[in-house]
Structure 1
């Protein structure tokens, strides 16, 4: 069977690879459905994380990341993804419909090389919560290329005061949630368990605990071979508005940033807890504005740095493709 000339098996394989995208607590809150020769992406409310993410912002951002991953992967088969976002006003969980269009037979070499690099990066990207060494400035050049025209989102690198200001935001978020038993029960359900195809295993959580800007996860078993403070660069992805569309597109921008950084050999870690609580989100917004950000709504903070020595974090599990895909 074909969909607009694309073999259905190729689409299924692309979906399976795209589902390597990051999501809040590795919740994987997405469903894919083929309908009328097009691929639909739906948010899966049964996979939400309602205490940490009561309005579903992070759920939609996660779906934006998997949507961009899919667009990257399908180019391997010579097809582009023409994306219609939020196509059904009556169904807010229907986030995108993808039609397929053939890519030009002779694309510019630099375009082809960038596509290959991003596709390769999917298999190597990890959320690494350990301290990083500082990235070289040259490695960060162009990480934000075309984010505004492509996704309506911007990436702003925070200045030297970024780590202290984001640590303050992290402390603020943690203090608000410190005596919230529902939040901690939810966190411990998703993190530190041996669930084979979802959540965050203890092997992916640092044995030394969180870096100052990080979420306070359960202590895990992942060793940090390099001692010393976290020297990661901190970047904020922001949008002009704060609608469901902005959340989706900021997730696409996040995917692009993570894969671009990974393709350059850098380690990354999204920090969603800093924007889940309104008070800490305001601190992030202030820091971004002081660094030159012109968009008023921070959606995600990203740590980017040189990889720690030793082994990379393990690849976290993903649900079988037939649980998230229907044709």
Structure 2
């Protein structure tokens, strides 16, 4: 064996060892071997560990889509009646910069309630839901009012278990931010989706005209550019970004790489890098990725859905969330996925023009657009998002 060959082999082996050490370091920093406890609530038998039927239904509601994955739900179990519980908006889990009037947060109360209702049918409990039993919030003292007034009173009664086909799809990810297939939404799919709207004061529209798709794409990109150009918005998002498995198990809410469709070894390498070198996840880089994702979405969406309410009351916001949950599950049943585009509907000064334009064009008869939603067939699956332990939602 020549001397040069020995040197080359030594260099290769040394490089391989260094690479292996680097990968091991990144995987360790990512927490690759840690059990993903934040995914436990997604297990189909998770609810079975609880005897109280109210807690069993809360365990299902916990899986619902919600704004910024803040999971802004607080439940109080009635001590006198074992079949009564109250849903409160958790005032400690608001997003005051991106959702300053808490509209998206109230929509999230509705998504939770509808998952509970559907689960109740399956488990043999009819859920009578009364929204704002003590009246709507005092908007001048919103946080205090959220703590004092329930968003809903839920009264359960024993019933014959019903087979609701939507139940089977509650255990799938609610949001897919990836590119969608170009296939058009079929008339049968549209019919099935529209059947989810049972509220007279809500309107559900499915739009697949080329002109509409183009306009919504522009709204999605432009509003993303506006939002990511604001320091306070980026700071708010950064505060709830979980960069590794340790943080995800600790907090169990907020954002992570999974939301961008990143999984497997790539996820752990990225998590390790961000954990060891936090500056890599800087504001400029995050903004660039968000805009690129919005541009990709705009170019790969065959249809959009709109949920409009006649007014913008808190009750209408909750009802819109309930409809949104039914729509998500019906979309899954039809082989479709969805993504809400929240930016253009956000209510802060810099977004006022975009908000006004989209309402002028698509809510010309008055009312409020509660949700603008991408709709289509997936090109890839997305992973499940973090969820808190059900007992963390229950307060005295």
Larger fraction in helix: 2
Among 60, 74, 92, the residue aligned to 1:31: 74
Is 1:308 aligned with 2:367?
no
The corresponding residue for 2:157 is 101
The corresponding residue for 1:140 is 190
Among 140, 164, 172, the residue aligned to 2:214: 164
Question: Is the 8 Å Cα contact of residues 156 and 288 (structure 1) preserved in structure 2?
Answer: no
The corresponding residue for 1:237 is 307
The corresponding residue for 2:388 is 319
TM-score scaled by length of structure 1: 0.81
Tell me how many residue pairs correspond in the alignment. 295
CA distance in 2, matches of 1:14, 1:55: 28
CA distance in 2, matches of 1:199, 1:135: 33
Structure 1, unpaired ranges of 5+:
1-6, 208-215
CA distance in 2, matches of 1:73, 1:43: 21
The corresponding residue for 2:96 is 50
The alignment partner of 1:123 has SS state of coil
How far apart are 1:295 and its partner, in Å?
Answer: 5.5
Structure 2, unpaired ranges of 5+:
1-49, 138-144, 263-285
Q: 1:48-94, CA deviations, whole angstroms, 9 ceiling, x for partnerless residues? A: 11100001001111111011111111112211111110111375421
The corresponding residue for 1:288 is 362
CA distance in 2, matches of 1:314, 1:146: 25
Q: Cα distance 1:166–1:192, how it changes in 2: closer, same or farther (>3 A)?
A: farther
Query: 25-34 or 294-303: which moved more?
Result: 294-303
The corresponding residue for 2:254 is 199
The corresponding residue for 1:72 is 118
Q: Cα distance 1:228–1:175, how it changes in 2: closer, same or farther (>3 A)?
A: closer
Q: Cα distance 1:218–1:78, how it changes in 2: closer, same or farther (>3 A)?
A: farther
The corresponding residue for 1:210 is none
TM-score scaled by length of structure 2: 0.68
- Please give the residue correspondences for 1:103-142 in structure 2 after superposition, counting only pairs within 5 Å: 103=159, 105=160, 112-113=162-163, 115=164, 117-133=165-181, 134-137=183-186, 138-142=188-192
Question: Is the 8 Å Cα contact of residues 87 and 152 (structure 2) preserved in structure 1?
Answer: yes
CA distance in 1, matches of 2:287, 2:202: 28
Question: Is the 8 Å Cα contact of residues 188 and 218 (structure 1) preserved in structure 2?
Answer: no
Look at both structures and tell me which one has the larger radius of gyration over its CA atoms. Answer: 2
- Provide runs of 4+ in structure 1 moved above 6 Å: none
Question: Is the 8 Å Cα contact of residues 169 and 283 (structure 1) preserved in structure 2?
Answer: no
The alignment partner of 1:39 has SS state of strand
RMSD of equivalent CA atoms: 2.8
Question: Is the 8 Å Cα contact of residues 52 and 183 (structure 1) preserved in structure 2?
Answer: yes
How far apart are 1:135 and its partner, in Å?
Answer: 4.4
Q: 1:103-141, CA deviations, whole angstroms, 9 ceiling, x for partnerless residues? A: 3x4x9xxxx55x1x2111110233110011134312222
